[in-house]
Amino acid sequence: MKRCIAVLAGIAVVLFGIAAAAGTLHGNPPVPTDNPMMRDKVELGRRLFYDADLSVNGTMSCATCHEQKHGFADGNRAHPGALDDPGRRNVPGLANVAWFPRLTWADPRQTSLEAQIAVPVFGEHPIEMGMKDHEAEIARRLERDPCYVEMFRRAFPGDRGMIDYLHVAKAIAAFERTLVSRDSPYDRFVRGNVDAMTPLARQGLQIFQRDCASCHAGPDLTDAAYHRIAPENVPPSTDAGLAEVSGDRSDTGKFRTPSLRNLGVTAPYLHDGSATTISDAIQAHAAFAAIRTSDVDTLGAFMETLTDQSFLAEPGLALPNQACGRPL
Ligand code: HEC
Ligand code: HEC
């Protein structure tokens, strides 16, 4: 009996520690005052997220690279753009992006979902959707569809349903704020359901808190800060990471700590997709290159609990099959 109480007390202490460290109090994400959340806007944004008309040759939507079944990442090392330019970096998942203060692997200027959308749509390094110099074409294509006209009118009544890139970006950003993933076994464990994680996974969590949570911190397992995990002596790669933006050589090879949510379905890993498995990704951290295999396995059991099956299957986030009361 005494032992049982001690074990229970131990679990309570661990749970309390996690709840405090992981910040179960994530609350609502910040929403810009000029783009309030509205159901009709989210529905429009969802349709646009899946619409290949946002790419130059009609072949590529946001969802081509950000697939729900992969936690809105994809299964490739990197994904080529609409014109077959090779991708430079691994596609990150989009779970809980609404809470991220800095977006993308290594560009601290990307602080808003609305603004980040210009990178895939208009960006040239690499070309993704290829719409640079074709901004007006986006409006022309969407205006041809009477259902879009109706959806923009409902989503932006104050702007009389204005169809242009700015409103496209606002609607997509509103949809992205609904990509909320907080029902993994780990979340349920943090909310007090001890059985949601196996004893091995709980042991993994303890190692994780000791060795990993300084960077993979908080409810989304990222401190949103930039670190170099590669050994100092590796030859310089073509991707200098943060240094490309900051111009500071000491930032070479630094990348934003990725969120580990839905890790079970977001392989391959790291900014260049060079790690095929979770253990490869762990061993790519110079600090853990010599980590014990048994610890990797134990950590792996914990990391499997970060995958949220309900998020991967949530119909409200999937390709819509209806709009304006009609099948699409
Ligand atoms: C060709 C593939 C591709 C397409 C198409 C694409 N993305 Fe991405 N997305 C990426 C890659 C690669 C990154 C990481 C880029 C980097 O860090 O340099 C990324 C990063 C992001 C991020 C930042 C996530 C984070 O963790 O900070 C968001 C948000 C995002 N994309 C949304 C979108 C939206 C919205 C669209 C459609 C308008 C879109 N993407 C289209 C490949 C793509
Ligand atoms: C010093 C900060 C730091 C610590 C400590 C740290 N990480 Fe990381 N981790 C990062 C960064 C930064 C990346 C991305 C590096 C890159 O892409 O080149 C990363 C990437 C990863 C990835 C790949 C995720 C993905 O989606 O690509 C996994 C898995 C991971 N870390 C697990 C761990 C584990 C497990 C530990 C503890 C044993 C740990 N990390 C400790 C900063 C850290």
Model pLDDT, residue 12: 46
Dihedral angle at the C-alpha atoms of 27, 185, 259, 101, nearest 10 degrees?
0
Cβ atoms within 10 Å, residue 96: 23
The topology under which CATH files domain 2-27+184-307 is Cytochrome Bc1 Complex; Chain D, domain 2 (1.10.760)
- Ligand 2 pocket test: pick from 77, 226, 257 the residue with the most ligand atoms within 8 Å of its Cβ: 257
Model pLDDT, residue 22: 45
Atom 41 of ligand 1, nearest CA residue: 62
In this structure, the strands spanning 226-227 and 255-256 are: antiparallel
**What amino acid occupies position 264?**
G
On whether the CB atoms of residues 129 and 121 are closer than 8 A, the answer is yes
How do the domains of the chain map onto residue ranges? 2-27+184-307, 39-180+314-327
Ligand 1 centroid to residue 92 C-alpha, Å = 7
Distance (Å, whole) CA 112 – CA 32: 9
Residue 97 in contact with ligand 1 by CB distance below 6 A:
yes
Record the pTM: 0.94
CB under 6 Å to ligand 2: residues?
A: 211-212, 214-216, 227, 229, 255, 257-258, 260, 263, 266, 269-271, 278, 281-282, 285, 288, 299
Distance (Å, whole) CA 282 – CA 289: 8
- Collect the ranges in the chain with pLDDT lower than 50: 1, 5-24
Ligand 2 centroid to residue 228 C-alpha, Å = 9
Matching fold, domains 2-27+184-307 and 39-180+314-327:
yes
Model pLDDT, residue 3: 53
Residue 95 in contact with ligand 1 by CB distance below 6 A:
no
Atom 6 of ligand 1, nearest CA residue: 62
The length of the chain in residues reads 328
Pick the CATH number of 39-180+314-327 from 1.10.760.10, 3.40.50.1950, 3.60.150.10, 3.20.20.10: 1.10.760.10
Number of the ligand 2 atom closest to the C-alpha atom of 272: 17
Angle at 198 between CA 195 and CA 204, to 5 degrees: 125
Model pLDDT, residue 125: 92
> Pick from 275, 225, 223: which is nearest to 246 by CA?
225
**Residue 256: exposed, middle, or buried by beta-carbon count in 10 A (0-12, 13-18, 19+)?**
buried
> Pick from 271, 217, 229, 259: which is nearest to 107 by CA?
271
Angle at 60 between CA 266 and CA 79, to 5 degrees: 40
Residue 110, helix vs strand vs coil: coil
Question: In this predicted model, what pLDDT tens digit does every residue of 277-294 receive, in sequence order?
Answer: 999 999 999 999 999 999
Model pLDDT, residue 325: 83
What DSSP string runs through 132-176? TT-HHHHHHHHHT-HHHHHHHHHH-GGGTT--SHHHHHHHHHHHH
260 - beta bridge partners?
none
Dihedral angle at the C-alpha atoms of 274, 280, 286, 289, nearest 10 degrees?
-150
Residue 169 in contact with ligand 1 by CB distance below 6 A:
no
Number of the ligand 2 atom closest to the C-alpha atom of 288: 38
